[in-house]
Amino acid sequence: MSDSRRETTLRGLLLGSLLGPLLGLLVVATGVSFYGARLAATHAFDRVLMDPVQALSQRVVVQNGKLVLQMSPETLHTLFTHVYDVAWFQILDARHQQIAGNMNLPVPDRLSSKPRFYDAVIRGANVRVGVVRVRLDSDPLVGNEAPEVIIQVAETLIRRDRNLYELMALMITPALLVVLTAIAMVSFGIGHGLKPLDALRQEIANRSWHDLHPVNEMSAPLEIRPVIVALNQLLADLAHVLDTQQRFLANAAHQLRTPLAGLQTQVELLLRDSRSDETRDALRVVLDTTRRVTHLANQLLALARAEPGGSHLLNMQYINLADLVELDMAMWLARAQARNIDLGFELEPVMVEADMLQLGEMLGNLVDNALRYTQEGGVITVRSRYDGAGILEVEDNGPGIPEAQREKVLERFYRIEGSPGNGCGLGLSIVAEIARSHHARLQILTPASGRGLLVRVVFASASGLPHA
């Protein structure tokens, strides 16, 4: 079974917590308003229902000893005709004998002179019925006791419901506007209240992986400070672990360099004095291995120095890239000649703000990588120029790096499968670390010729110099 989990946000939780009760309150208020409006409409229309009763009671008289309704059909039609509703009436004597009317409903028990109202069904229509016992005016000439009649008037509910819905619309519309305004204000308030969290998220997101300095907790609300305190403690612990790792790496590499240098010297002396071919072959293998281990130790030490947060301090100063290249030019030319590689230089004076040792390490790794992986008879070009920024380039026509692996080669100890040379997979990692510590941009590109590799480092803090 797949574990499907709904992703929740703090904004969503707050909106749900606040808007849920608010909408519930709206529902309850609507129900109460509907009940109150229906009760008020019922009372109002019930009172109106008594108007025909009053008119009918005044027109019931005694003629020839009988109760009769003295009202013309036209008057009755006017009295009981409405635009929306249908109305009926019934007049009964004290013995429940019908005197007049167009309906036949049973008489409720225990009637009095106080009106009574109830719901009924007439001819399939729901109606509201008003009934009252009325004592007629007595005839002073006859002296008989005034008779009583029972008058019932029924009316359909169309006008009542229509009025009720109109009244509810008038009551609910302002409430709905208030709720919508409250929702907008709550949403705005939550967004405003979450700004400190957004600022914290943005600050952490803008950091690089090696930026472990504490987050400022004093500018955050009190509720967020415990989280920031815990985060700062985690960053401090991580910084301590990384610092310990860097110091171990630097110390181990430094301790290895001295015995390896001595071992390499002894092997070279033995190789020079040995006369046996087998011994010389074995010593050449040992010498090659020693050189590789020495190179690895030097690379590890350079990586430890280049990593941010290490124990070293950057000595930033303005350096001319052309002068920096010329410092080790002779050594690189000797290596290039040994492999029949055409090593050329296109140097323009460019001043960049950098650490002399680290920048030299970066340049050395770039040229060393090019010399290691370019085939014999290949071409390598080292450039320095100014184009709105300081640019250092090393271009070769070697096998290059596939575009899909250009991010991976910046990882430590990563080597492309089947690649030539005897590198350890740290050269470009060191270049990337030094570029990052100098806020420079590292680009791995394909040369304009379409073959080989072009590694470019762009320094934002730079200025060109006029040619001599």
Domains located in the chain, CATH noted: 10-165 (3.30.450), 225-306 (1.10.287.130), 316-464 (3.30.565.10)
Is residue 343 a contact partner of residue 333, using CB atoms and an 8 Å limit?
A: yes
pLDDT surpasses 50 at 1? no
pLDDT at 464: 64
Which stretches of 206-319 are DSSP H helices?
Answer: 225-273, 277-306
* Separation of alpha carbons 22 and 273, rounded Å: 95
pLDDT of 46 reads: 87
Q: What is the mean pLDDT of the chain?
A: 79
**Residue 460 near residue 348, CB atoms below 8 Å:** no
pLDDT digits (tens, 9 = 90+) for 360-407: 888 888 898 889 888 899 999 999 999 888 999 999 998 888 888 888
Is a pLDDT exceeding 60 seen at residue 86? yes
Burial 286-308 (b: 16+ CB within 10 A, else e): bbeebeeebbbbbbbbbbbbbbe
SS3 190: helix
Lowest-confidence pick of 101-115, 289-303, 441-455: 289-303
The tally of CA atoms less than 13 A away on the side-chain side of residue 212 is 16
What b/e readout covers 166-185, taking b as 16+ CB neighbours within 10 angstroms? ebbeebbeeeeeebeebeee
pLDDT of residue 19 exceeding 80? no
Phi, psi torsion values for 446, nearest 5 degrees? -100, 130
Query: Per the structure block, which two tokens stand in for 353?
Result: 């703000």
Instruction: Give the pTM.
Output: 0.45
Strand partners, 445: 454
**Are 372 and 291 contacting, i.e. CB atoms less than 8 angstroms apart?**
no
pLDDT at 252: 63
Cα separation, 227 vs 215, in Å, equals 11
> Could you give the dihedral angle defined by the CA atoms of residues 430, 432, 437 and 440, in that order, rounded to the nearest 10 degrees?
140
Residue with tokens 């690649």: 419
Of 84, 101, 76, 75, which is closest to residue 156 (Cα–Cα)? 84
Contact 433, 303 (CB under 8 A): yes
Could you read off the pLDDT of 152-208 as tens digits, one per residue? 999 999 888 888 888 778 877 887 888 788 888 888 887 777 787 788 878 787 776
Distance CA 132, CA 335 (A): 123
- Summarize pLDDT for 231-243 with one digit per residue, the tens: 888 888 877 777 7
